[in-house]
A = this chain, B = another copy of it.
Amino acid sequence: MKLFEYMGKELFARYGIPVPEGGVAATAAEAAEIAGKIGSVVVKSQILSGKRGKAGGIGFTEDPQEAAELASRMLGSELRGFTVDKVLVEQKLKIDREFYLALTVDGAARKPVILASAFGGMDIEDVPEEHMVRMHLDVTIGLQPFVAREVVRRLGVTGDVARQISAILSGLYKMFVELDAELVEINPLVISGDKVIAADAKVTIDDDALFRHKDLPVVEERTEAEKKAHELGLSYVELDGDIAVMANGAGITMATLDLIQYYGGKPANFLDAGGGAGVEPTAKALELLLSKNPKAILINIFGGITRCDDVANAFAYVKQNIGIPVPVVIRLVGTNEDKGREILRENGIEAYKFMHEAAAKAVEIATGGRN
Contact = CB atoms under 8 A, between A and B. Distances in A.
Interface of A: 140-141
A143 to B, nearest CB: 15
A188 B369 CA distance: 83
A141 B141 CA distance: 10
A140 B142 CA distance: 10
Nearest to A138: B140
Contacts of A141: 140
2 contacts: A140-B140, A140-B141
A177 to B, nearest CB: 13
A67 to B, nearest CB: 46
A219 to B, nearest CB: 31
Contacts of A140: 140-141
A268 B31 CA distance: 79
A141 B140 CA distance: 7
A145 to B, nearest CB: 14
A85 to B, nearest CB: 41
A140 B141 CA distance: 7
Nearest to A139: B140
A137 to B, nearest CB: 14
A69 to B, nearest CB: 53
A144 to B, nearest CB: 14
Nearest to A141: B140
A363 B140 CA distance: 55
A111 to B, nearest CB: 14
A191 to B, nearest CB: 32
A285 to B, nearest CB: 35
A209 to B, nearest CB: 17
A54 to B, nearest CB: 46
A333 to B, nearest CB: 39
A212 to B, nearest CB: 14
A266 B140 CA distance: 51
Nearest to A140: B140
